[in-house]
Amino acid sequence: MTRGLPLGRFRRYRLVLLGLVLLLALALLLGAALGAYPIPPFSIPGILLKGEGVEYQVLTALRLPRVLGSALVGALLALSGAVLQGLFRNPLVDPGLIGVSSGAALGAAIFIVVLPGAGALEVYALPLFAFLGGLLATHLLWRLAQTPWGVQVSVLLLSGIALNALVGAGIGLLTFVASEQELRSLTFWTLGGFSAITWHLLLAGLPFGLLAFLLLLHLARPLNALVLGEREAFHLGVDLEALKRRAVAGAALGVGVAVALAGGVGFLGLVAPHLFRLLAGPDHRYLLPGAALLGAVLAVTADLLARTLAAPAEIPVGVVTACLGGPFFLYLVLRYKREVFRA
């Protein structure tokens, strides 16, 4: 036994995590190398050390902030999804499905249209508005689903659908009153994409993203206890209210940063945790970092597909992730249906 796990399972977790680290390094290398202006992957270190030339400009001004930003967005969405699934004890919960991503997008849209011309403050205020939008949406859903017997998942999901519709109406209204330049920015939030990520935007969102990682990655042990039920977790010494506050705030912050950087990129928060469970297992001590790594790999890969499949045109990343995540979500629903029928 190793840290409460059979030795074989512990080795499997470690092997999968190591494989994901290597896969992420490969995805980052290919993401920086491939595109409309291809660069030999193994010549990238030499180009960066040389510090001049067209290839150096392409790498440092365009590719690197985009690739690193997409990895950050994927990791935050996947980690937030894994924590929310553990908190609600439901594998179908996703930041987009329950309206958290929509709330963050509405916060960003309000900032774009209501406070235009914020100038230098924009790169700092935009993630903050997206975070506040996600936090308010999460708090509203939590209050709606709260009952004397705990949070009702069916009410949560139905409330999320209703909130998504209301947010869609709000964004539609903002689109109606937006100027032409604001309209282009709003379209970016709706479709999702990494093309607008610059060093300025990435560095502005990074402190908020790191804070979200700090809040969420330390929730593994209480989430493992919560799998047994709220009463059992309480008797194991878990402060349930503190756990809920920290998980909700961390997930809203992570989703807010992701939406501020990339707009509405869906399904990563649903797909990545499930794939890691299939590859290794459900222990949150490994699931949370594993989902973050896998989410980063999927986001970088989706971005690479989006800008190479129809080159020189670029497919919105939200379309790519929806094409991959939609069938996977249907698979999960059918699997859940079979399990309920067998029970």
- Identify the pLDDT of residue 69: 94
- Identify the pLDDT of residue 96: 73
Reported as half-sphere exposure (CB side, CA atoms, 13 A), residue 34 has a value of 17
Contact 35, 303 (CB under 8 A): no
User: In the numeric block, which tokens belong to residue 214?
Assistant: 């700090």
SS3 for 160-207 is: HHHHHHHHHHHHHHHHHHCCHHHHHHHHHHHHCCCCCCCHHHHHHHHH
Among 255, 258, 335, which residue's Cα sits nearest to residue 84? 255
Reported as half-sphere exposure (CB side, CA atoms, 13 A), residue 295 has a value of 31
Residues in the chain predicted with pLDDT less than 50, given as ranges, are: 1
CA distance 310 to 106: 30
Residues constituting the chain = 343
Q: What pLDDT digit, counting tens, does each position of 153-195 carry?
A: 667 777 888 888 888 888 888 888 877 777 777 776 677 788 8
Contact 245, 193 (CB under 8 A): no
- Identify the pLDDT of residue 19: 95
Dihedral sign for Cα atoms in the order 45, 34, 21, 255 = positive
SS3 for 51-109 is: CCCHHHHHHHHHHHHHHHHHHHHHHHHHHHHHHHHHHHCCCCCCCCCCCHHHHHHHHHH
User: In the numeric block, which tokens belong to residue 40?
Assistant: 């030999």
- Identify the pLDDT of residue 229: 82
- Identify the pLDDT of residue 1: 46
Q: What pLDDT digit, counting tens, does each position of 76-112 carry?
A: 999 999 998 888 787 777 777 677 778 888 888 888 8
- Identify the pLDDT of residue 208: 86
Contact 287, 273 (CB under 8 A): yes
CA distance 326 to 330: 6
- Identify the pLDDT of residue 151: 64
User: Could you tell me which residues are beta bridge partners of residue 337?
Assistant: none
Which ranges in 178-316 belong to alpha helices (H)?
Answer: 180-191, 199-217, 220-226, 230-235, 240-262, 268-279, 284-308
- Identify the pLDDT of residue 287: 94
